[in-house]
Amino acid sequence: MEWREEDGVRWLEAQLPGATAAFSTRLGGVSEAPFDGLNLGVFTDDERDSVVENRRRLAAALGFRPEQVAIGRQVHGAELAQHAAPQEPSPFAVPGSPIPEVDGHVGAEASPVLLVFVADCVPVALSGPGGVAMLHCGWRGLAAGVVARGAAAVDATAAAVGPAIGPCCYEVGRDVSDAFADLGDGMARGRMLDLPEVSRRLLRDAGVEQVESSDLCTSCERELFFSHRRDAGRTGRQAGLVWRHEEGD
């Protein structure tokens, strides 16, 4: 992955076969503390106008209109939305518009830009012959099979795993770590769960051979990322996005 910046908006970018993935940071927005600056989440206590402006800035930096971005209301499950065209009306551009309750998005040739919101959970972008997918991977969604479903939906051959809370900061109960015991050793050290490694092993088990990972902890990197756990729930949201290239790009 490589760092990119445009008009103060900074993000990590990964190239996948036929697609690009991007992982935003908190840099480049207009929100005030504790949501400073590029908070993309309206389901926070931030000012809605600030969030709308932040979304516009991120889309512009990446070369899109906000109306081209597809989102869902995330419920920590494994349901996916299929997108053949942009959402109308656009809940990304116009918060309050109808929005599906899903934790992943799948798109083929003419699909919009696919986006998930995160603030510790793992954003996973996928590409394959069947298109692209963008997944919001909290521990419940991972245990419910969101990675396998997303990989199967696009016959994924490659993935990019974005910034997420690391094993240095993610303390869980035994019931949570036990949910991933069948993935082998190394998933947890004591009560500290390695959520990105869980995602990588699930991608491996789903047959995804090419996996790139940021290895950045959202909780540790306070200047770069929002973190739900670090900030006791009062924080913003960054995003993971993926889009297909036009023919010939």
Whether 52 is in a domain gets the answer yes
Query: Is residue 16 situated within a structural domain?
Result: yes
Query: Is 215 inside any structural domain?
Result: yes
At 126 the pLDDT is 98
The number of angstroms, rounded, from the C-alpha of 121 to the middle of its chain's C-alpha atoms is 8
Q: What is the CATH number of the domain that holds 80?
A: 3.60.140.10
Is residue 249 one of the residues assigned to a domain? no
What pLDDT band is residue 152 in, cutting at 50, 70 and 90? very high
pLDDT at 249 over 60: no
Burial classification of residue 150, based on how many CB atoms lie within 10 Å of its CB (0-12 exposed, 13-18 middle, 19 or more buried): buried
| Amino acid 247: pLDDT | 55
Does the pLDDT of residue 53 top 60, yes or no? Answer: yes
Exposed, middle or buried, 198 (CB in 10 Å: 0-12/13-18/19+)? buried
Residues 6+ apart with CB under 8 A from 166: 194, 195, 196, 215, 216, 217, 218, 219, 220
β-sheet bridge partners, residue 24: 11
The predicted model gives 171-199 an average pLDDT of 95
Residues 6+ apart with CB under 8 A from 218: 118, 119, 120, 163, 164, 165, 166, 224, 225, 226, 227, 230, 238
pLDDT mean over 35-60? 97
For 13-20, what is the mean pLDDT?
97
Whole-prediction pTM:
0.96
**Host domain of residue 106:** 2-244
Q: How confident is the model at residue 47 (pLDDT cuts 50, 70, 90)?
A: very high
